Amino acid sequence: MTPSDNPQGPAFDFSAAWSVTGTVSIESGILFRLESANGFGLTGVTLSATGSRSGVLAAATVTEVDCLGGVLDTSGFALGGIGSVACLGGGVEANTSALLPVGSNVNANVTASFFPIAFQVDVLKDVSVTGAPGGSASITNVGQQFTQAAPEPGSAGLVVIGLLAGAGALWRKRRKRYAIDLRKAPASR
């Protein structure tokens, strides 16, 4: 796993060799929690997968459940797959799935928007590759790019106005104090 912090939001890269040939399947889960440290809310995520797929029946898929502001219950994942995962504690669930097309070194990208904006997201990825007679499937990289809400221009403007008003009040206070100090100073003869 390689985390990075990009201007649009945090990103994660998961690299492995999920690969099958013939009638074999591999399924694995990746679970993590992301919290907004700087106060910007998370507005969505782009999920990407890279790999190869040959044969019509072979499949290479990454499915994701995002629990916005709640707790992700993964207790049924091992037995029932991604369908038995639940978002508890009042959190809202966002789901997305990337299915690789047939080809060598191909990509699939999907985007999910978060509503409401989230400040904490529990994420479960289900990486699944299934071979078929005469076919193969692999996933070599799973990417995750979150987007953050930019502060509204109106909010930034209010901050600037507040700073200017505070600076003006401080200037007036110092000017008034200086005028009082001048009156108290002895007159020069």
The answer regarding whether domain 2-148 maps to CATH 1.10.3300 reads no
Average pLDDT, the chain: 83
pTM of the model: 0.74
Average pLDDT, integer, range 83-112: 90
Domain residues of the chain, as ranges?
2-148, 151-189
- Contact at 8 Å (CB) between 54 and 136? yes
Lowest mean pLDDT across 77-91, 107-121, 163-177: 163-177
Token pair, residue 174, equals: 């110092």
